[in-house]
Structure 1
Amino acid sequence: MAHTRKRAGATVLGLIAIAAIAFVPATPAQADPSIKDVKARVDRLYHDAEAAQERLHDARIDLADLRRDLAGLRADQARQDQRLDEVRDQVSDAVVRQLEGEGISTVGQVVVSDDPGAFLDTLSTMSSFNDLQSSMLADYDTQLEALEIRQEATDSRAKEIAELTEQLSTEKATVDEKLAEAKSVLSDLEAEERERLLSSRSGVSRMPSSVPASGRAAAAVQYAMAQVGDAYVYGAMGENAFDCSGLTMRAWAQAGVSLPHSSSAQYGSGPHIAASDLQPGDLVFYYSPISHVGMYIGNGMIVHAANPGTGVAVSGLYSMPYVGAVRPG
């Protein structure tokens, strides 16, 4: 009987243990990412795409320079080839004249000449002729060597262009890939959350009522501020959409200042300015290597083409990793 009670007690304890286990909360599944986390990831993807786009701008500038160099080299090569043909013709004519008897030996001249003065004149002429021959042959060698140098330079530039063209294709693919990934992240969110994310303006400041710019900078600032709210499109430079360097390039063009369509190239377009000396219109640069540019508008704020989710907006000067500033013009 006691044995039976022990066995029943054990059974009851076992059932209690099973029930307890059943009511222990399971390990919670990993929580869905918050809007803040998703926004941070999308912003990183947007910046990766922007960095690739700015490298693409740099490569296009380099490619244009290389093509100008190549055109010049090919023109030099054509001129050199023509000069070589001229020298080759001169040498050929000299050889033909020699073979036809024009270059009679000095001994022959002594035998046939009855006039010593004429002989001396002929001897002098023959000496000059031989010198001319020697000079032409040396010139031919020089011109041939110069042509070969130009051909090598032309081939080298053509190879660089081919490599850079391939790089352009790679950078464009990177832009497309990062942008597609950002869109994919957004599409995974519920529609309402996606709208909240896209409409959020993290780091965007209130629009200033006025910007105290003067001189040519005033025209640049006025143009940039007028674009606030426009779309951000990779590679765009207006009228209604911009990327970061496209906006600053177009803005300063209103002041008659030509800037390259590249943030890193714009960083080398004027004197560098300390942060404490910033004035409205100065260009401010971000990230290392440089891959974003905006325009300072005073009171610790900038106007810039931020990213596809934000467009052209006003933000704080230090809302991104600050590198330095340049004063165009």
Structure 2
Amino acid sequence: MTRSTFGRLACARAVLLAGAALLLASGCGHDATPLADMPQDPDLTDPGMDNPGTDPGGVDPNAPDEILFQQGLMAYDLGDYASAIASFEQLLTDYPDSVRHDNAGYLIGRAQYTLQDFAAADEALSAMLTAHPDSLFAASALYFRARSRFRTADLAGALPEFRAAVETDPTSVYADNAQYYIGRTLYETGDLAGAVVELQKLATDYPDSSYRDNASYYLGRAYFEQADFPNAIASFEEVLTYTGTFYADNAYYFIARSDYEQGDLAGAMSYFQQLEAQHPGSQYIDNAIYYEVRIDVDQADCVGANADLARLSSQFPASPYLAQAQTYVTGGGC
């Protein structure tokens, strides 16, 4: 999905009635998953729109299955997912030959995903894909089945589904998302070299993707964890070029860490201080102050080291970095 077309904070959907195809807005999203440290969930803030494909054909707006489908769709649109699921399930049972059968099965999965019942979403999407492998919604169903597995940390099950989503339709609305999650999943499994390849591919194949900042951040993390600090810095600096990115504080922190690892203490101190000034609520503030203490000690600035240690103790008395900072100050002769 493109940032310019959809933006981060709005979802759009349209139904072209009387036999036209369905355009459906995604649940929106960034990840607050327990995996790594992604700050928000892409399915709660990033919008998307399903590829309508072509007219399913033969839709009679007065037919009982179409009325039932529109009833479910209205409930879905209003956020009444339980009622939507009930209507769509009734359509599947009562009208197995309906042209809306695949739409209904897909939307059951999407509703369950939005309700964060990921096992039920996986089951519904799997049933839809089994019954309608060539559906216009197949690529989207594969993507959300993969997301359901990713959200439950079934990374081995998610990875081939993300790949299949891209392969099924590389131009679908979720193809860029799926490409990002191929790289992200590889990162989470520790295949850092593989993650680099796939995350770089997002920039090449989907240059307008709204996941470019996500990809640049995890590309930087993959480089950082391989001690390739120049490429890590370049990736994190790219993150900072995206206005409104959720990863700005993360990027400042890891640029500083990369500078520190390369022995550029002045550069590291500058970025740690920018992190504090520009993102005072960041989860990395205690980390940053700890490294400022280390830099002070490394530069034989005992006055600065003790002042920063006092700040760390005052602001973050429960920080796991406090004891380490105290040890570093003492060991450094300060």
TM-score, normalised via structure 1 length: 0.20
Higher strand share: 1
Q: Which has the higher contact order (CA 8 A, sep 6+)?
A: 1
Computing the radius of gyration from Cα coordinates, the structure with the larger value is 1
